Structure 1
Amino acid sequence: MVYQPAAGARDLLPLDVAQKRWIEERLQQVFHRWGYHRIITSTLERMDTLMAGEAIQRHKVIQLQNGQDEELGLRPELTASIARTVVTRMTEDIYPQRLYYNANVFRRNWEKRHNRQQEYYQAGVELIGSDSLLANAEVLILVSNCLDALGLDSWHLILGEAGITTSLLNAFPSNIRSHVRNAIANLDRVTLDTLPLTEELHERARIMLDLRGNSGDVLAKVSSLALEPEQQAAVNNLKSIVELLESECKFSLILDLSLIQTIDYYTGIVFEVVSDINGQAQVLGSGGRYDQLLGLYHPQGKNIPGIGFELSIDDLYQVLASSQQLPQTIPPSNWLVVPTSEKVDAAAFAYAQKLRDSTHLVRVEMDLGGRDAEAIRQYARDRSIAQIAWINSDGTPTIEAVR
């Protein structure tokens, strides 16, 4: 029998880990420069936390059962867990809170992926405690900084507004609204045309499906829909964000008011980061504003505004691997310390420790015996080890550069 990981799981070998860490470390540097602090939440959560008030569908969560018949699940994303932590464990902290994470998530049949993978890696941020235009702009510009740090320049941002989209959907009958929503989310014009709607509502649905493209054109189209004052205020707010981004940022921006995220707790702007490398569009991350999510977990039901995003380490890896930017080898050791006899084993360990105690990182291996000098040299060459320290019978080292 050949033992393999469980279906949907995988192993990361040393080179995979080095490449993953290369991505994570660069993102982490950006997060630190913007004043964000890392938070680590539980991988295992209660189902009522993970479902975020039905915003996340139950069947997409990998569920577990404990001995007390309590419904548990593996987190399919981080925002709900962080929201729960902030309002229950960080009640004395000062807002705004700037938090970031690097973590694995577990998803069943998520986002219509063709493979059977159920474990993914993400990095992202949550900016909690402000509903301002500047908070929205900070998160969107931070996304741009992250991709710059990874050397990615062929990408664009798709920006929508969940509040506007939801309010426009409210014009449709409640018994068919979810079908309209799904058709628009999947850009499915055929299904949309077959739904039992009046001609006026069919036209409204078609307009919603076409609310995508140049920001000026989209804003003009949505303004033609006889908006309520609250809807118009949201459009004006979106216009202000677009103007700020277009004046300060160099990335391509597409406004898309048909953009609907699979997770349904977003209340304001929503966005996707899409790669354009090799002529193929690939979503690298997504995010948005969720001003009512924290209220689900707050002991007094108090709503605290928040906005954040996640970047998929797996999808970033695929894009970066094709551009040869990731490390192609694991870091080699700097030294191989070789005791020349059993009598100097202790001296060899002491010398190796002296090398490791350097103020900068020095990777030191000990030879474990059982091979001759030429085999030791060949091992060092194969592993790209720069130097061998032969520990002599008197405990002194003889240094040899590996060629």
Structure 2
Amino acid sequence: MILWQERSDLQSSEEVNRQPARGARDLLPQDVEDNRWICAQLHYVYRRWGYKELAPPTIERLDTLEAAGAIDENVLLKVATRDALGLRPEITASVARAACTRLAGLPRPLRLWYEGNVFQREDVGGHERVQEELQSGIELIGAPGLAGDGELVAILLDACRQLPFHPEHQPTLLLGHSALFVTLLADFPTHQQAGLRQALSRYDMLQLRSLDLSDADRQRAQRLLRVRGEPEAVLDTLSDFSKAAAVDELRALLELIAERARQAGVRLQLDPTFLPTFTFYDGVVLRLICKGAHALTPVATGGRYNRLLRHFAPGDRDASGTGFSFKVERLRGLLQDHRTALSAQTDVQVLVTYRSPDNLGGAMACLERHHRALVKAELLPSHKVEEETTQGHASPGPQVLVTYDHPMSREAATACVQRHRTAQVEVELWPQPCPTLDAARAAWRQRPLPCLEWLTGARDGSAP
């Protein structure tokens, strides 16, 4: 028990306690709105392909979260309960569990999409961190082979077309095959395969050089490390390494999606040594990578996980599943670099104020009228209420100032002015674009009027 403590120590402790957990952060209103806008674009694509939303629990049993040993328990955030529970580090395992239990009786293929936060524990420089991310993705259960893999990649490419990527992002879809990787490693000494798997999948030349390999094996591994890039060239090179069926699967998939990728502006790259972080994938694997301001950023990951489905449904040897998930936070960061307001809409927003306390009822009625018309509106009390009431300048009726943020919105703003004049409301059109809501508020403070209507312009929020 602490009986006495220096005041400065108390203040320091309070400052620390007011901060989020290490690795966590607060999302500000604009970030929340942009996240929702991005997710809405993705949901539109999912629904168009016939997918239905599933919301698995955030807290699961540890044996589910470990995904048949594919997820290291050290990354799991465990919950202090009598049962062995934890926060999900990803959502695929939870969907697979639900598909094999409560949804087991539904006809296949089963098409599901989800949105939710995932949590991972990290050890950075000896300090524990909590990483929280928002994910949005799909899972296709019961569609084996090329049909399932082709549908998965096609939906991912459609999502890329729906999202406002900038040409500078250079979106690239990286494709691999976990079974092909296993086949390629089989020619190396058994005791070196684990180290090779790690070095090759991480593209770590230093680790590769540190392995105790013969000169022939080392040269072969180094050559394999360089086998990545344009799909046709890689497939031709792979023929020298392996005759695995996975090579034919990748070739058929690439033929199916090549034109769709071109139309979506997504470059295809084949990498036989690519593996996602979680190791429950056992077929085609994929990762969508974009060029950020300072580095390449992975924004989506996925692949086939038949073995995981069979873990939750031991009696079903034909169980199959494939899916992907978008990292929404990373997407938002990329897109915000080129678009100031992803969630900006071409609709009307209203600021309602009043000049006298006696007019508060009228202001509330004004709010209600706009809300019934499905128009966003908020109350903004006048900072000049007392001054104008004292000087007797308060207007007996409502007054409206209409403004807009883009020259293309001037016509809509003019129509709004005409509607108010028809209703015999004193109205004035602001003479120039007002690029943001804050600027609109500033304009109102310069010319205080009880009701300010703000018409937003282009979706990207660009000012003229």
* TM band (smaller chain): 0.7 to 0.9
Equivalent-residue separation in structure 1 for 2:328 and 2:79 (angstroms) = 26
Give the letter for the 1:241 counterpart. Answer: L
**Conserved 8 A contact 1:128-1:307:** yes
- What does the per-residue CA deviation read over 1:264-294, in whole Å, with 9 as the maximum and x for residues that have no partner? 0111111111113558422111111111111
Q: Determine the structure 2 residue equivalent to 1:314.
A: 329
Q: Determine the structure 2 residue equivalent to 1:241.
A: 253
**Conserved 8 A contact 2:301-2:324:** yes
C-alpha deviation, 1:319, in angstroms: 1.0
CA 385–34 in structure 1, closer or farther in 2 if over 3 Å, else same: farther
Q: Determine the structure 2 residue equivalent to 1:32.
A: 47
Look at both structures and tell me which one has the larger radius of gyration over its CA atoms.
Answer: 2
1:8 aligns with 2:23: yes
C-alpha deviation, 1:86, in angstroms: 0.8
* Unpaired runs of at least 5, structure 1: 389-397
CA 102–179 in structure 1, closer or farther in 2 if over 3 Å, else same: same
In the comparison of the two structures, how many residue pairs are matched? 383
Equivalent-residue separation in structure 2 for 1:365 and 1:400 (angstroms) = 10
Q: Determine the structure 2 residue equivalent to 1:64.
A: 79
**Conserved 8 A contact 2:352-2:452:** no
Equivalent-residue separation in structure 2 for 1:339 and 1:90 (angstroms) = 59
Q: Equivalences for 1:2-401 in 2 at 5 Å?
A: 2=15, 3-66=18-81, 68=82, 70-109=83-122, 116=129, 118-152=131-165, 153=167, 154-227=170-243, 231=244, 233-250=245-262, 251-277=266-292, 280-298=295-313, 300=315, 302-324=317-339, 326-327=341-342, 333-336=349-352, 338=354, 341=357, 349=364, 352-358=367-373, 361-366=374-379, 372=385, 384=440, 400=451
Residue 213 of structure 1 aligns to a residue in which SS? coil
Give the letter for the 2:378 counterpart. Answer: E
C-alpha deviation, 1:262, in angstroms: 1.5
**Conserved 8 A contact 2:351-2:451:** no
CA 93–364 in structure 1, closer or farther in 2 if over 3 Å, else same: same
**Conserved 8 A contact 2:355-2:450:** no
Cα RMSD of the aligned pairs, angstroms, is 3.5
**Conserved 8 A contact 1:104-1:119:** yes
Equivalent-residue separation in structure 1 for 2:386 and 2:128 (angstroms) = 48
Equivalent-residue separation in structure 2 for 1:37 and 1:243 (angstroms) = 29
- Answer with 9-18 or 49-58: which moved more: 9-18
Equivalent-residue separation in structure 1 for 2:314 and 2:355 (angstroms) = 63
**Conserved 8 A contact 1:293-1:303:** no
Give the letter for the 1:132 counterpart. Answer: G
How does the TM-score come out when normalised to structure 1? Answer: 0.84
**Conserved 8 A contact 1:290-1:305:** yes
C-alpha deviation, 1:72, in angstroms: 1.4
Q: Determine the structure 2 residue equivalent to 1:391.
A: none
Equivalent-residue separation in structure 2 for 1:340 and 1:134 (angstroms) = 67
* Unpaired runs of at least 5, structure 2: 1-13, 389-393, 403-436, 455-464
C-alpha deviation, 1:357, in angstroms: 2.3
CA 224–179 in structure 1, closer or farther in 2 if over 3 Å, else same: same
**Conserved 8 A contact 1:129-1:305:** yes
- What does the per-residue CA deviation read over 1:277-324, in whole Å, with 9 as the maximum and x for residues that have no partner? 558422111111111111111263545211111111111112111112
Equivalent-residue separation in structure 2 for 1:128 and 1:284 (angstroms) = 23
Q: Determine the structure 2 residue equivalent to 1:393.
A: none
**Conserved 8 A contact 1:15-1:329:** no
Q: Determine the structure 1 residue equivalent to 2:412.
A: none
CA 156–400 in structure 1, closer or farther in 2 if over 3 Å, else same: closer
Greater RCO, CA 8 A, separation 6+:
1
**Conserved 8 A contact 1:88-1:299:** no
Equivalent-residue separation in structure 1 for 2:190 and 2:311 (angstroms) = 24
- What does the per-residue CA deviation read over 1:202-251, in whole Å, with 9 as the maximum and x for residues that have no partner? 34322331221122222122211253xxx2x2211111111222244312
Residue 282 of structure 2 aligns to a residue in which SS? coil
Equivalent-residue separation in structure 2 for 1:138 and 1:202 (angstroms) = 38
CA 345–191 in structure 1, closer or farther in 2 if over 3 Å, else same: closer
**Conserved 8 A contact 1:61-1:108:** yes
C-alpha deviation, 1:371, in angstroms: 6.5
Give the letter for the 1:234 counterpart. Answer: A
How does the TM-score come out when normalised to structure 2? Answer: 0.73
**Conserved 8 A contact 1:158-1:253:** yes
Equivalent-residue separation in structure 1 for 2:192 and 2:123 (angstroms) = 24
Equivalent-residue separation in structure 2 for 1:328 and 1:145 (angstroms) = 20
- What does the per-residue CA deviation read over 1:149-171, in whole Å, with 9 as the maximum and x for residues that have no partner? 11214211111111110122233
CA 319–115 in structure 1, closer or farther in 2 if over 3 Å, else same: farther
C-alpha deviation, 1:140, in angstroms: 1.1
Residue 89 of structure 1 aligns to a residue in which SS? coil
Equivalent-residue separation in structure 2 for 1:26 and 1:267 (angstroms) = 29
CA 374–364 in structure 1, closer or farther in 2 if over 3 Å, else same: farther
Identity of aligned residues (%): 31
Residue 108 of structure 1 aligns to a residue in which SS? strand
Give the letter for the 1:53 counterpart. Answer: A
